[in-house]
Amino acid sequence: MATKKHLSNTEWGLVVGALLTVDLTMIVLDFFAIGFFIDPFIDSFIAMAFPFYMHMRGQDMTNSKRVVAAIITWLTAILSDGVLDFWWADGLYYMYLDKAEAEMEKLEAKVPGGKMMGKIGENKIADQKRKHDEMMEKFGPSKNATNAKTPRWLESQGKSNNFIPTNSIKNDDSIKNPPRKESDAMKKWKEATEKSNGEQVDIDRAA
């Protein structure tokens, strides 16, 4: 198996030319009765042989774009009874993907540690997620506590019974409507009112 990953322009020209020859041959066969019988077999053979050749030449056939392109081309040919054969277009698309990957590798090679920086970024994101999960596990709401609002750090210290739940605060009228502190002027006014009321009562009794 060859270890070359990227194909040269010459080889791509030969590949696309061979696929175009196959398509033209099937178009010619469509003018005869045998074409409608043999074309599906040719399309099925190309659908297996072309990706296998690309794999043997070092192309990444785990790339979903390549797999989907081959499947779409094969389905188009089968459903049209061999009338719409575009394997040459599939070859051009594979060449485009190969050239794009080659340019990306060149760009990464020019940037010092390009690939390594990408891996470091992924590791950093995973580390931040792990720390977040640990904090939620330690300080987040407990699923097994009697009170769902009790944090885990209070449970670990045995203080969950002293924790005031949020719903109890909402239902406590004394907390929602705390008593107002009377000012000195209000106290004097009340004392004067009570005193005048008492004097009025004494006058009524004397009368």
What secondary structure letter does DSSP report for 57?
A: T
Mean per-residue pLDDT, 173-178: 54
Tokens 């020859």 identify what position? Answer: 21
pLDDT for 19 equals 93
State both tokens at 151. Answer: 């944090």
**What b/e string do you get for 160-187 counting C-beta neighbours within 10 Å, with b at 16 or more?**
beeeeeeeeeeeeeeeeeeeeeeeeeee
Rounded to a whole number of angstroms, the CA Rg of the chain reads: 41
pLDDT for 108 equals 77
Burial class of residue 85, CB neighbours in 10 A (0-12, 13-18, 19+): buried
**Amino acid making up residue 187:** K
Instruction: Evaluate whether 1 touches 56 at the Cβ level (below 8 Å).
Output: yes
**Amino acid making up residue 15:** V
Do 91 and 49 fall into the same domain? yes
pLDDT for 91 equals 92
115 located within any domain: no
| pLDDT at 43 exceeding the cut of 80 | yes
Strands (E), 103-188: none
Do 82 and 145 fall into the same domain? no
Highest mean pLDDT among 14-18, 22-26, 152-156 belongs to: 14-18
Domain membership of residue 32 as a residue range: 9-110
46 located within any domain: yes
* Separation CA 151–CA 136 (nearest Å): 10
State both tokens at 69. Answer: 């392109």
Grade residue 193 by pLDDT with cuts at 50, 70 and 90: confident
The tally of domains found in the chain comes to 2
Do 137 and 103 fall into the same domain? no
Do 104 and 134 fall into the same domain? no
121 located within any domain: no
Mean per-residue pLDDT, 66-92: 86
Do 151 and 84 fall into the same domain? no
68 located within any domain: yes
77 located within any domain: yes
* Separation CA 150–CA 141 (nearest Å): 6
Higher pLDDT, 132 or 75: 75
**Amino acid making up residue 22:** V
